[in-house]
Amino acid sequence: MKAANPVSNPHSAAPAGDAAAVPHADMANAIRALAMDAVEAAKSGHPGMPMGMADVATVLFTRHLKFDPAHPDWPDRDRFVLSAGHGSMLLYALLYLTGYEDMTLEQLRDFRQLGARTAGHPEYGHATGIETTTGPLGQGLANAVGMALAERLLAERFGGAAVDHHTYVIAGDGCLMEGISHEAISFAGHLKLDRLIVLFDDNSISIDGPTDLSVTDDQLARFAASGWAVQAVDGHDPEAVDVAIAAAKAADKPSLIACKTTIAYGAPTKAGTSGAHGSPLGADEIAGAREALGWPHPPFEIPGDILAAWRAAGGRGAEPRAAWQTRIAALDAETRDTFERLQSGALPEGFAAAIEGVKRLAAEEKPKQATRVSSGNTLDALAEVMPELVGGSADLTGSNNTKAASEGVVAPGSFPLPAYVYYGVREHGMAAVMNGLALHKGVVPYGGTFLVFTDYARPSIRLSALMGLRVIYVMTHDSIGLGEDGPTHQPVEHLAALRAIPGLNVYRPADLSETAECWALALESADAPSVLALTRQGLPELRDAYTDENRCARGAYVLAEAEGSRAVTLLATGSEVEIAMAAREMLQAEGIGAAVVSMPCWELFAAQDAGYQAAVLGDEGGVRVAVEAAVEFGWERWIGPKGAFIGMRSFGASAPAGELYKHFGITAGAVVAAAKERLG
Ligand SMILES: Cc1ncc(C[n+]2csc(CCOP(=O)(O)OP(=O)(O)O)c2C)c(N)n1
């Protein structure tokens, strides 16, 4: 299916403002030329998608998008998400043309080179105006749902004078084929997130060829069935696109606009084919495209009048931004302070006292409590002082203990803060929506499911880490200790798999005190995601007394020092710290000095200096025994050459927890035996 080779763009309506003098086609062709030239210079990349969507993007950026390149972090800007991240040159061209200071022509020339802002796929934090990292298809679309949700939550709290913006997405066939798109659109439709507008690059091409090789969905019907307003337009007709976006803005539901486009629009032989996907067009094809498009200018050269028109489009936001600033200044001082604190991500004054209150209660009452319950108690205290909390669960609220008493339930037309979101059985969607919430800023998301189902959310957890987002994953039922639900529900390799993700802090607290401390650390990590691995089963409080210090902050610490000289160091996390404590008693009773080290967070411990690590782990030649109801993978790093590991070597089984621990040999007796064997 090959599109007609356009000799000139038949739709050459003029955009608004100073840009009026320059025909639309020239504006759009500037994007096309930069995309072709940058991909050619890099000798890799995707020119087809930016060339196909250039008309749609031109209409969006010159007529609708509310943004100010001089203030890229303006909180009330419209968000633009390029979910089809392989078309990164579309975004980079737009950022350059509209005048983002850090997106220079040099950067475009250095497309895909080491150290350039213009990475192969848009990377959050590499350049201003990149709202999220995209590339894994479907993620951006789901992030945008989170951004649109954050907008509604903050608008309800602070009013339309402070928060009133849209979230736009460009998504391709690939994004819509991914399973995550179903979770995201279903959730957005349910909540009637009417500030969300998806521009679907409906070009019927993906890498393997025409999309009908693998998909024949009626996308309009699919979105409509999920509660979206849907329209279909010719994506090369700027007036039609303009009218459709205006209608979408007026809709009381999220909107899908299917934009029929031709991939690599203008390329003489590759337009409309998957040949325009994933590799440079080549010199001849580019020359032909320049001719067909009526773009005689040399590579990377944008004529002054066209660039000026684009810069004028970029300048449209200055006035609305200044007006917004005036409105913010007019807010009462308390509202403004809270708004600004939330935007900055700073924790509130009452934060430390909330954590202290939980720790004092732990020391005084020493409750026997599952750490999932401890987490719920901590959240109750935190939500009293943190209106920015947006909690939730993927249909396991009662099991995850994720709903704090003061959190209001999010529903269509009701967006209270602090908020609680019933995400439904959508783990992957939940994680990506939480990334979007965090990216938007102003709210702090956390969400729960069973630890074993981090597998269902893993691609988004990885992106939380890659982007350095404060997203908190509350993952309960963290071992065979969950008991009767059996091996499908019992994580064994998940701690190791999560610890393997760079930049992700995996916490496994042992009691109420540690749970409160780990929550504090997760919230204090403004630029890192956290997983809290929590138990279903009850655990004793292990601390003797209240300490002001956050003992989990260094990742591992000596919970109980050996009496006499230390011959054995017992390392454990979470529910197995109790087992290590029992083993210590038994060893001490035999006159063997044993210390117990609680290791709630490997990542934080790995960041400590060698002196601290050595003091905690004990003499390198000494005997170390680690106990964790999970696979050994990774523990060799801590237990040293003479070390032993007591844990899982297979999947679990369905039985009461106590029996399972015995069956799999995760007992104080086994720890003692392993220690004595190594002592010789
Ligand atoms: C999760 C995921 N799977 C596979 C890829 C590799 N990939 C990049 S683009 C693409 C095809 C996308 O097709 P479409 O969205 O229609 O983009 P277009 O061909 O229109 O540019 C694929 C499979 C990816 N980036 N992410």
**Span 458-500, pLDDT tens digits:** 999 999 999 999 999 999 999 999 999 999 999 999 999 999 9
* Plot region of 634 (φ>0 → left; ψ -120 to 50 → alpha; else → beta): left
Distance of CA 223 to the CA centre of its chain: 24
Taking all residues of the chain, what is their mean pLDDT, rounded to a whole number? 96
**Span 247-269, pLDDT tens digits:** 999 999 999 999 999 999 999 99
Structural Rg of the chain based on CA atoms: 28
Residue nearest to atom 13 of ligand 1 (CA): 206
Strand partners, 645: 626
Alpha carbon of 174 to ligand 1 centroid (Å): 5
How many residues belong to the chain?
680
Query: Tokens in use for 339?
Result: 């708004």
Alpha carbon of 99 to ligand 1 centroid (Å): 29
Quick check: 1 pLDDT over 80? Answer: no
> Which residues sit with their C-beta closer than 6 Å to ligand 1?
48-49, 84, 86-87, 135-137, 172-175, 178, 201, 203, 205-207, 263, 277
Residue nearest to atom 23 of ligand 1 (CA): 207
Residue 20 binned pLDDT confidence (cut-offs 50, 70, 90): low
Cis peptide leading into residue 418 (ω within 30°): yes
Q: Which of 44, 206, 208 for mutating ligand 1's site (highest number of atoms within 8 Å of CB)?
A: 206
**This prediction's pTM:** 0.97
What kind and span of H or E run contains 450? Answer: strand 444-450
Alpha carbon of 111 to ligand 1 centroid (Å): 19
Instruction: For residue 680, count other CB atoms closer than 10 A to its CB.
Output: 6
Q: Sign of dihedral through CA atoms 664, 668, 672, 673?
A: negative
Quick check: 140 pLDDT over 90? Answer: yes
CA angle 540, 545, 549 (to 5 degrees): 110
Distance of CA 320 to the CA centre of its chain: 29
277 three-state secondary structure: coil
Position 19 scores a pLDDT of: 56
Alpha carbon of 94 to ligand 1 centroid (Å): 21
| Cα–Cα nearest to 2, from 256, 219, 275, 208 | 275
Residue nearest to atom 9 of ligand 1 (CA): 86
| Cα–Cα nearest to 375, from 464, 490, 507 | 507
Instruction: For residue 169, count other CB atoms closer than 10 A to its CB.
Output: 28
Give exposure, 32-60, as e/b (b: 16+ Cβ within 10 Å). Answer: bbbbbbbbbbbeebbbbbbbbbbbbbbbb
Alpha-carbon distance of 252 to 227, in angstroms, equals 10
> Do residues 358 and 516 make contact, with C-beta atoms less than 8 angstroms apart?
yes
| Cα–Cα nearest to 673, from 639, 646, 635 | 646
| Cα–Cα nearest to 152, from 167, 132, 130 | 167
> Do residues 510 and 542 make contact, with C-beta atoms less than 8 angstroms apart?
yes
Position 51 scores a pLDDT of: 98
**Span 334-382, pLDDT tens digits:** 999 999 999 999 999 999 999 999 999 999 999 999 999 999 999 999 9
Residue nearest to atom 26 of ligand 1 (CA): 136
Instruction: For residue 527, count other CB atoms closer than 10 A to its CB.
Output: 11
Q: Does 427 qualify as catalytic in the annotation?
A: yes
